[in-house]
Structure 1
Amino acid sequence: DGFLPQNYTVASFQQQVLERSVIKGYFQNRDALQSESPDYNRNAGLEVQYRSGDGRFQSFAGYSRSFTSGLEGKAYSYISGIGYDNRNISVYSNLSGMGKNYRADMGYIRGQEYYDAERDTSIFIGMNHWFTRAAYTLYSENSRRIISHEFSGRYIYDVDTAFSMLNREIEGGYTLAFSSTAQLRASYNNTTVDLLYPFTFIGDEPLPAGIYHYYQAEIRIQSDQRRLFSLQGGMAYGTFYNGTRVQYTFGIKYRAQPWGNFSVNFEQNKLEFPEPYGSDNLFLINPRVEINFSRKLFWTTFLQYNTQEDNFNINSRIQWRFQPMSDLYIVYTDNYAVEFWGPKHRALVIKLNYWFNF
């Protein structure tokens, strides 16, 4: 029951081994209090990370299990990866997955939960995820204005536990970096999705289940980040499932040295689908304020207005670093329905991190 009081507990450890490698473990627990029947979710995991002495080579592997009331079996999760970096080349690949009964109530799992708009229900599946990226950077030795040209590629492939394709993405990109810290990036993405259940993005007639192919071309710019005022923006155009999508982004940031940062980001997505699937113009506005009262006391506040969800969100956090690597966080979250201007839910969270140095 989401309205019952909840007890949340997290414990973790990290131990350095060899020169730059670590072993990490964690335990998470959520228990519903005053519940007439068992209502809990627990996660325990272990991960080993290896990094070579020069920092160029890295690899990692981890495994975890969840224990959830009412669910038995297929509650595993795993992750593994390998990477290599030098001045010109960066290559990284990881493989991860989980069973259909793995749950993480204190976190977010992408791609496991599917919503069936026709039956108004959610379905959980097991999946395996493969992610690979590679980049080559060519440095400009004889130019004062241009630092580098970067050519990059990315590949994502998701399958269910029967190895049927769920999602495939291929992306290529080019980034031009200037000595002023300004950047220009262009990219092209091609996606194939197996939509397992009917789904709607804008509340009209759900798109039918099936395989969809779509693409997107995008360009982004960023101004000199060293200046007190900096700008960023972009535009993307492409197909989206059986429709089209046009996206505009814009952001402005002001640095009040040395005590504060103020920024506002704006995003617009224009979605058009053939009849009877509808069309819409979605807006997202996201102001952010960061104030440093001292070297130990910080205040960060996010505001967000989202027309798709008709939601206005406030997230405000106070951080007190009372000892090195030890922090006290006080976080207040508030969500409002914009149309009728009423609170949806509120939360006050207190979190304490303490660093033990053995």
Structure 2
Amino acid sequence: MNPTYTPSPGKILMLLALFLLSFQANAQKKNAGYQYHIRKAAGPITIDGIMEDTWLKADSASNFFMVLPMDTSRAKVQTQVRMTYDNNNIYIIAICYTNGPGQYMVESMKRDFNFVKNDNFIFFLDPFDTRTDGFSFGANAAGGQWDGTMYEGGKVDLSWDNKWVSVVKNYPDKWIFEAAIPFKTIRYKKGVGVWGINFSRNDLKSSEKSSWTPIPRQFPTASLAYTGSLVWDELPPEAGTNISLIPYALAGVSKDYQAKTGVAWRKEIGGDAKIGLTSSLNLDLTVNPDFSQVDVDQQVVNLNRYELFFPEKRQFFLENGDLFANFGYTDIRPFFSRRIGLNAPIRFGGRLTGKLDKDWRVGLMDIQTGESDVASSPAENFGVLTLQRRVFARSNIGFMFINKDATGSATPGNQYNRNIGVEYNLASSNNLLTGKLMGIKSFTPGLKGHDLVAAGHIQYLSKYWTMYIQDQYVGKNYTAGVGYVPRVGYNKISPLLLHNFFPKSGGILSHGVQIMSNYYFDENFKRTDNESTLSYLITMRNRSTFTLSAVDTYIKLLVPFDPTNTGKTPLPIGTRNHWNTIDAQFVSKPQALFTYLTEVAYGGYYQSGSKTSVTAQLGYRFQPYVNIAVNTSYNDLRLPQPYGNTNFWLVGPRTDITISNKLYFTTYVQYNGQVKNINTNIRMQWRYQPASDFFIVYGDNSTPSPFMVKNRQLVVKWTYWCNL
């Protein structure tokens, strides 16, 4: 340990609290008494959205509990679920009754829809019944599919994509979801006869969210702490040989008008392989991967002093991705996969991920990149090992080792970077108490001392109260060569307190007061900056929300910074700034065809200046085929010279057209006035069979005034998922 580092009082208190609370975490599963007995199918099942006689012989789960708007009664909108299985698939059918006449509400038939803005049925599988990770499947009322992996007890990563089939059929008084999930699609342990299970229904017409098992309203229906039990009449059959080959072929053409180069042609082949070493342990291999079909990042106006974060969307990195990506905090990530392969091509790689048994999870990754002349980057090898051991009811201890080595020519000090870390994640059986303690050390040539990270938090979340405190220390020499750590050399304390009130009648469902702060200090505990926010939050019974906030900001610059982020003369180190801001935000009810979010903020800014910000997110749906959305922001900065008055527009219209739940067209145009760029991305995706796609993707970048194309490209890509 670094002898110059002394834990803060907050961290010591947090350590004691987590230690004491661990003894309360080993409680029995909350909803263990809610059992669904699944029996082998009495006959063949056809996935067509029709209730066949075979289904009548399966048990039924119904009489759901209301979660929203309140969690004190049974659901008014009825849902009935039945499950069965054969040697190859798990089958599920959900009859979603509607509350009187009227059209269902969906955005489109596109995959992985927004839960809040769609009538939907979703279910959650926890094959090990650990209440920490699992799988989620479902669909909206128009047949748009939803699938994802689950992590941290109730979060769903919708970037995961796998092979399964479903159909939704609409009737005058109901809609029916029917699906077949191959055993090869999910990961489970041989010999485990009780899984975690829950069913969730979102009905916008009645503004009601419901669940098969009772769940407190402050938690999502995805909360695995509140699953019931899926009891098998026989042990689930083995998945058998589970090997999938996913080759791709690509052809493309591009031209860089700024560099005045000729037309460049692309012809590439490559692919992935998925090998099920056991029913719960998977080996992913990739050779010459291509990610040209991945959705583009949403641009933002960057007035931040530190690097922005954009999420990983590439399929290869996603299964069991939480083992790698969620170690640490959002601003302390020792591993961030987007560091790999964006500036240099990935030549090949492998990932071993999954469960060894009910208590142990493992992740092992090794990736080799080639050299990049454009980014002046040498060939590099990235190796990661992560282990996770479940303790008590839902807590775990995690370990991670990260190694980055230059395998080609490298500049001095950049030959390697290594990180080693350990963390303890607390999650009580009822999810009211959660927390974390973590420590990381980096190893970098030429840097010694002040290379540690120590952080932790604890949270209490009930219907009426949210109490949270976090403490972080990041040494000035700490280096995460494959991570996302935008700031080093600081101590940070972040408290939050929220209290909710629930009127018994009227249009307001809940309202409450929240106060939160982020205080930063240097390594000698001298204050450098802080931001404190006092907010009043109102939620209406129709699910619209209103938030009014007052923000107090103080910043002492530790590095030179141009407050416009446009390359002007930066303010010097040590410049002190203090200002206040008032912010108001309104989010409309999700069940309307036209939805919107508006936010207006006005206050001070650097150098005794001022900043006015207006944000709008507009959406309109022509159900179920067309969904139009526009993201817009306007920032007006008024500063003394040499900065003067500056304003930035960001406009991003997007149109999703879904001919069916297998054929999608997306057009996304983004104008960013700060970087003076117009980006256009047009994509067609045809899912000609489960998990197999044909893409046509067009993209270009242009200067807005005078309008001039910088570069453009067209790519045609074919992928095929083959199970051996």
Q: Report the alpha carbon displacement of residue 54 of structure 1 after superposing the two structures with TM.
A: 1.9
The structure with the largest strand share of the pair is 1
Other structure's SS at 1:140 match:
coil
5+ residue gaps, structure 1, are: 113-125, 324-329, 345-358
Q: Which residue of 2 aligns with 1:81?
A: 457
Conserved in 2, the CA contact under 8 Å of 1:303 and 1:314? Answer: yes
Distance (Å, rounded) in 2 between the aligned partners of 1:94 and 1:291: 43
For 2:472 and 2:680, the matched residues in 1 are separated by 33
Which position in structure 1 is the counterpart of 2:540?
A: 178
Alpha-carbon shift at residue 188 of structure 1 (Å): 0.4
Could you tell me which amino acid in structure 1 is paired with residue 426 of structure 2? Y
SS of alignment partner, residue 206 of structure 1 = coil
Corresponding residue number in structure 2 for 1:236: 601
**Segment drifting more, 179-188 vs 279-288:** 279-288
**2:710 counterpart residue number:** 342
Decide which of 223, 232, 251 is 2:588's aligned counterpart: 223
- Any idea what the Cα deviations from partners look like across 1:218-246, whole Å, max 9, x if unmatched? 11111111334311011110010221000
Question: More deviation in 32-41 or 153-162?
Answer: 32-41
Counterpart code for 2:439: Y
Question: Is 1:3–2:347 an aligned residue pair?
Answer: no
Larger deviation: 154-163 or 9-18?
A: 9-18
In the TM superposition, what whole-angstrom CA distance separates every residue of 1:40-70 from its partner, at most 9, and x where no partner exists? 3332322111122222122210111222344
Contact 2:700/2:709 (8 A) holds in 1: no
* Equivalent residue for 2:549, pick from 178, 187, 192: 187
1:63 to 439, 448, 464: 439
Preserved contact between residue 20 and residue 51 of structure 1 (Cα < 8 Å): yes
3-state secondary structure, aligned to 1:264? strand
1:316 deviation in Å? 10
Letter in 2 for 1:24: G
Which amino acid is the alignment partner of residue 467 of structure 2? V
Task: Determine which of 410, 420, 430 is the counterpart of 1:54.
Answer: 430
Match for residue 148 of structure 1?
A: 510
Equivalent residue runs for 1:24-63 within 5 Å: 24-37=398-411, 38-63=414-439
Q: What is the aligned partner in structure 1 of residue 6 from structure 2? A: none
Could you tell me how far 1:211 is from its partner in structure 2?
Answer: 1.6
Cα distance 1:153–1:43, how it changes in 2: closer, same or farther (>3 A)? same
CA-to-aligned-CA distance 1:320-350 (integer Å, 9 cap, x gap): 9xx9xxxxxx9x9x89573664359xxxxxx
1:45 and 1:290 map into 2 onto residues whose CA distance is: 42
Is 2:363 aligned against 1:13? no
Partners of 1:204 and 1:278 within 8 A in 2? no
Aligned mate of 1:131, from 478, 494, 500: 494
Contact 1:207 1:277 in 2 (8 A): no
Distance 1:306 1:65 in 2: 38
Question: CA offset at residue 151 of structure 1?
Answer: 0.7
What are the residue-to-residue correspondences of 1:92-131 with 2, within 5 Å?
Answer: 92-112=468-488, 126-131=489-494
Q: 1:256 to 1:282 in 2, by over 3 A?
A: same
Question: Secondary structure of 2:535's partner?
Answer: strand
- In structure 1, how many angstroms separate the alpha carbons of the residues matched to 2:427 and 2:554? 34
Q: Does structure 2 conserve the Cα–Cα contact (< 8 Å) formed by 1:31 and 1:40? A: yes
Q: Deviations over 1:123-167 (max 9, x none)?
A: xxx111111111111011122x21011210011110110111111
Query: What is the CA distance between 1:259 and its match in structure 2?
Result: 8.4
The range that moved more, 238-247 or 249-258, is 249-258
Inter-partner Cα distance in structure 2 for 1:280 and 1:23: 49
**Matching residue's letter, 1:232:** L
Name the counterpart of 1:350.
Answer: none
Q: Distance in 1 between matches of 2:446 and 2:667?
A: 38
User: How far apart are 1:194 and its partner, in Å?
Assistant: 0.8
Relative distance call for 1:53 and 1:288 in structure 2 (3 A) is farther
**Residue in 1 that maps onto 2:571:** 207
* Amino acid across the alignment from 2:452: Y
Q: What CA distance in whole angstroms lies between the structure 1 residues aligned with 2:656 and 2:624?
A: 11
1:167 aligns with 2:167: no
Other structure's SS at 1:102 match: coil
Task: Tell me the CA shift for residue 101 of structure 1.
Answer: 1.3
Residue 646 of structure 2 corresponds to residue 280 of structure 1:
yes
State the SS of the aligned residue for 1:16: strand
After superposition, the Cα gap between the structure-2 partners of 1:180 and 1:16, relative to the gap in structure 1 and judged at 3 Å, is same
**SS of equivalent to 1:103:** coil
8 A Cα contact 2:611 2:638, kept in partner: yes
Distance 1:293 1:79 in 2: 49
| Counterpart contact for 2:651–2:672, Cα < 8 Å | yes
d(CA) in 1 for partners of 2:580 and 2:600?
A: 14
Amino acid in structure 1 at the alignment position of 2:419: N
Describe the shift of the 1:106–1:253 C-alpha distance in structure 2 as closer, same or farther (beyond 3 A): farther
Normalising to structure 1: TM-score of the pair? 0.77
Rounded to whole Å, the distance in 2 between the matches of 1:315 and 1:139 is: 45
AA aligned opposite 2:571: L
Give the CA deviation at 1:75.
1.6
Given the two structures, how large is their TM-score scaled by the length of structure 2? 0.40
Query: Separation in 2 of the partners of 1:219 and 1:259?
Result: 33
Check whether the contact 1:190–1:215 (CA below 8 A) recurs between aligned residues: yes
1:109 shift after superposition = 2.0
Report the Cα offset of residue 261 of structure 1.
Answer: 6.0
> Structure 2 CA distance, aligned partners of 1:316 and 1:75?
45
1:161 aligns to what SS in structure 2? Answer: coil
| Aligned residues of 1:82 and 1:94 also touching (Cα < 8 A) | yes
How many equivalent residue pairs? 324
Structure number with larger C-alpha Rg: 2
Higher relative contact order (CA 8 A, sep 6+): 2
Cα 1:197–1:46 change in 2 (3 A) is closer
Tell me, yes or no, if the aligned pair for 1:176 and 1:183 is still in contact at 8 Å.
Answer: yes
**Contact 1:59 / 1:83 at 8 angstroms: preserved in 2?**
yes
Moved over 4 A (4+): 254-262, 287-304, 311-318, 334-337
The one-letter code of the counterpart of 1:136 is H
Identity over aligned pairs, percent: 30
Q: What is the CA distance between 1:255 and its match in structure 2? A: 5.5
How far apart in 1 are the matches of 2:595 and 2:480? 38
Q: 1:277–1:139: structure 2 CA closer, same or farther, 3 Å change rule?
A: same
Which residue matches 2:617?
251
Alignment CA distance shift 1:91-1:188 (3 Å): same
The answer on whether the counterparts of 2:630 and 2:651 sit within 8 Å (CA) in structure 1 is yes
Secondary structure of 1:338's counterpart equals: strand
